[in-house]
Amino acid sequence: MPKIAYSEEERDAIRATLIDTGLELFSRQGIQHTTVEQIYTRVGISRTFFYSFFPAKEDLVVQALYCQQPQLLAYAQRLMNDPELSWREGVRQFLHTICYGKQSGFTILSVEEQQALFKCLSGENRQSFLERRLTFFTELLHTFGIHTGEPGVKLLGNLVFSAAILRKAIPETLPFLFADAADEMAGFQIDAILNYMETLRRQ
């Protein structure tokens, strides 16, 4: 007979497992190709029970992205604390991880996924998402020893995430770009971003 009552602790654990499972599948096969059924089946709950936690798939996506932020911050801090890495080598490794999120287990939204998520969020939720992203990137830059104003944070945020999105888009979404130069392009962008970050760090 199925269990019909769960304690708050049990519900919290199931919710966390849903988020972790979602992040794993999102990073491996993309948000668009991950279904709610795949997630709740792996966790071992019913569709109805899933929707008692998240009214829609997009709500899970947003919460998963929020939960990924402290993971990325912790990863950045580990790189900065690694005595075998210079500052530039540590930041380069982080940026490479962002640009190749699928290989590293991190979820990076594609252009299509961003558009779909944007359409599903209310104006208030969109604003909250952007504010939390700004806070996250400010904290990330602080981890790298960079303290700059909001315009600089937003510029670097756009540079980093656009490099990751562009690398992810080649060749499926952007088939007329030269796919065989995609990795070299990502390396060039990472070096340019690093140079700019070093300039800010010295200020």
CA atoms within 13 A on the CB side of 147: 2
Residue 158, domain member (yes or no): yes
Distance CA 94, CA 50 (A): 34
Instruction: Say how many domains are in the chain.
Output: 1
Closest CA to 114 of 57, 46, 31, 39: 31
pLDDT digits over 131-188, tens only? Answer: 999 999 999 999 999 999 999 999 999 999 999 999 999 998 999 999 999 999 999 9
**Which 3 state secondary structure label does DSSP give 16?**
helix
pLDDT of residue 69: 96
**CA dist 185 → 117, 130, 138, 180, 194 (Å):** 27, 27, 26, 10, 14
CATH number of the domain that 158 lies in? 1.10.357.10
Task: Give mean pLDDT, residues 46-63.
Answer: 95
Residue 2, domain member (yes or no): no
Residue 14, domain member (yes or no): yes
Residue 117, domain member (yes or no): yes
Residue 1, domain member (yes or no): no
At residue 145, φ and ψ (nearest 5 deg) are 80, 25
Residue 163, domain member (yes or no): yes
| Prediction pTM value | 0.89
**Which 3 state secondary structure label does DSSP give 10?**
helix
pLDDT of residue 6: 84
pLDDT of residue 103: 73
Residue 63, domain member (yes or no): yes
DSSP state at residue 179: G
Residue 197, domain member (yes or no): yes
Share of the chain above pLDDT 90, in %: 80
Task: Give mean pLDDT, residues 39-64.
Answer: 95
Distance CA 13, CA 7 (A): 10
Range of the domain at 185: 8-202
